[in-house]
């Protein structure tokens, strides 16, 4: 069974600073990896996803993530955060075998932006 670990429960970053949110996964085969963002009181919105190919994927709102198979990681990055990036971020892993299209989510990282 797949699993996801987001080791940072809460991160505080100054506006304009760079950001990296960590995600480690466990899955026996090539995983499908996702980052979702949840603004307060809202549902989840997809930021980016990795299925195959280039290990550096670009997403919306200036986010990117890099898949590192050797480290079982899929960390999310942004070079310069904006106050509107304050939200909760979830990493998720999906199985690649047909008939098992469930996603397993991490526990989330809450991002606070300070002026």
Partner 1 sequence: NAGVTQTPKFRVLKTGQSMTLLCAQDMNHEYMYWYRQDPGMGLRLIHYSVGEGTTAKGEVPDGYNVSRLKKQNFLLGLESAAPSQTSVYFCASSYTQGRLQETQYFGPGTRLLVL
Q: Is 27 helix (H, G, I), strand (E, B) or coil?
A: coil
DSSP state of 31: P
Cβ proximity to partner 1: between 15 and 49 the closer is 49
Beta bridge partners of 66: 56, 75
> What's the closest the beta carbon of residue 38 comes to partner 1, in angstroms?
8
Cβ proximity to partner 1: between 20 and 101 the closer is 101
> What's the closest the beta carbon of residue 108 comes to partner 1, in angstroms?
5
The residues, ordered by sequence, that sit 6+ positions from 99 with a Cβ below 8 Å of its Cβ are: none
Cβ proximity to partner 1: between 51 and 83 the closer is 51
Q: Which residues bind partner 1 (CB under 8 A)?
A: 9, 32, 34, 36, 41-46, 49, 51, 90, 94-98, 101-108
> What's the closest the beta carbon of residue 16 comes to partner 1, in angstroms?
29
**Can you list the positions of beta strands (E) in 1-115?**
3-5, 10-14, 19-21, 24-26, 32-38, 44-50, 56-58, 64-68, 73-78, 87-94, 103-105, 109-114
> What's the closest the beta carbon of residue 78 comes to partner 1, in angstroms?
20
């Amino acid at each position: 069974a797949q699993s996801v670990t987001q080791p940072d429960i809460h991160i505080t970053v100054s506006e304009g600073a760079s950001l990296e949110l960590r995600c480690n996964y466990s899955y026996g085969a090539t995983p499908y990896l996702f980052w979702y963002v949840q603004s307060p009181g809202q549902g989840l919105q997809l930021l980016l996803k990795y299925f195959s190919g280039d290990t550096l994927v670009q997403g919306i709102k200036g986010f990117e993530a890099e898949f590192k198979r050797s480290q079982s990681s899929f960390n999310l990055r942004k070079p310069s955060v904006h106050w509107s990036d304050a939200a909760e971020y979830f990493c998720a892993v999906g199985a690649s075998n047909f008939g098992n299209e469930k996603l397993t989510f991490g526990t989330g990282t809450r991002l606070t932006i300070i002026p």
